[in-house]
Amino acid sequence: MALDIKSRILKSLKSTNFGKSIKKIAVELDLSRTTVSKYLKILDKENRCINRKVGFIHSGFQKKTKNF
């Protein structure tokens, strides 16, 4: 279950170059904002995404990977 939520959030973040708010991710994936926030923090600690506060809004961004 947790792995599925993480992969769904990462897939959602891959669809944009500018990040998404927690609310947009929650609506898109039919999850609560609390759940999305929790998993964004976990993914950030795992260095798989960036979780940032911009003003009053918390947003998630896909980590850019370098392909050589």
What pLDDT sits at residue 65? Answer: 57
Single pTM value for the model: 0.79
Tokens of 66: 């370098």
Task: Fold for 2-62, please state it.
Answer: Arc Repressor Mutant, subunit A (1.10.10)
Return the domain boundaries, the chain. 2-62
Q: What is the pLDDT of residues 30-67, one digit of tens each?
A: 999 999 999 999 999 999 988 887 777 777 777 765 54
b/e burial code for range 10-40 (CB count within 10 A of at least 16 → b): bebbeeeeebbebebbbeeeebeeeebbebb
Q: Under the phi-then-psi rule, with left for phi > 0, alpha for psi from -120 to 50, and beta for the rest, what region is 19? A: left
Helices marked H in the chain:
2-14, 22-29, 33-45
